[in-house]
Amino acid sequence: MHSEVSADAQPTALRIVPAQQAPFADVEAVFGTRGDPATCWCQWYKIPGSDWREEPAELAARLEQQIATAEHGGPGLVAYDGETPVGWCAVEPRPALPRLQRRRIVAKGSDEPDFDDGSVWAVTCFVVPRAHRKRGVGGALAEAAVAYARAQGARVLEAYGVDPTARAKVPAADLFPGTVSMFERAGFTEVARPTPSRAVMQVRFD
């Protein structure tokens, strides 16, 4: 795979690289020490609910290990503005996300029922620190996720977009899966709407 994907964002161009090419300290800088990202570390879809008792430091160690040992792509991308890490996008083969198949939006909306199929990838989470929001970071990461999944041999890339227009008010914390409009701009097509405010989006490479 090409080592980076550049995307224009305001006010500067972003450099986006696979997490394997970023120091883990930069990933930690994006996740921060407060809020949902710092207590989840993109492990929610990977750990059985009965085992969801680990401390944030242990979850962070899990993510660091997953980045270091990923053999078939994933588990994410890191965006930079110059040398400053400004965003994260979780994207990887769907079999790495065992709890995902039990989510109603996926169970009712995905037309890819085989969760052992490593050619189906998923975008599940975006993390952009408050100071770097409203600058196109999430959209650039979504576009880069498409390029990354394609380069890694994915057949399908799924996302589970939030449609803020379908709800009276959507807290910023609820937008971590990405928005429908953002995925549409990145080339995704809506294939199902399991709930009024959540859509299954796909890019097919086959």
Q: What percent of the chain has pLDDT over 90?
A: 74
User: What is the mean pLDDT of the segment spanning 12-33?
Assistant: 93
| Residue 163: per-residue pLDDT | 94
pLDDT band for position 11 (cuts 50, 70, 90): very low
| Residue 92: per-residue pLDDT | 97
Is the pLDDT reported for residue 10 higher than 60? no
Is the pLDDT reported for residue 197 higher than 80? yes
Is the pLDDT reported for residue 30 higher than 80? yes
Domain that holds residue 49: 5-204
Q: DSSP label at 53?
A: T
27-41, 44-58, 142-156: range with lowest mean pLDDT:
44-58
Is residue 81 within 8 Å of residue 64, measured between CB atoms? no
CATH number of the domain that 33 lies in? 3.40.630.30
Our measurement of the distance from residue 77's CA atom to the centroid of its chain's CA atoms, rounded to an integer in Å, reads 8
CA separation for the pair 165, 199 (Å, rounded): 12
| Residue whose token pair is 């161009």 | 13
HSE, CB side, 13 Å, CA atoms: give it for residue 176: 17
Of residues 133 and 65, more confidently modeled: 65
Per the structure, the count of domains in the chain is 1
Helix (H, G, I), strand (E, B) or coil at 133: coil
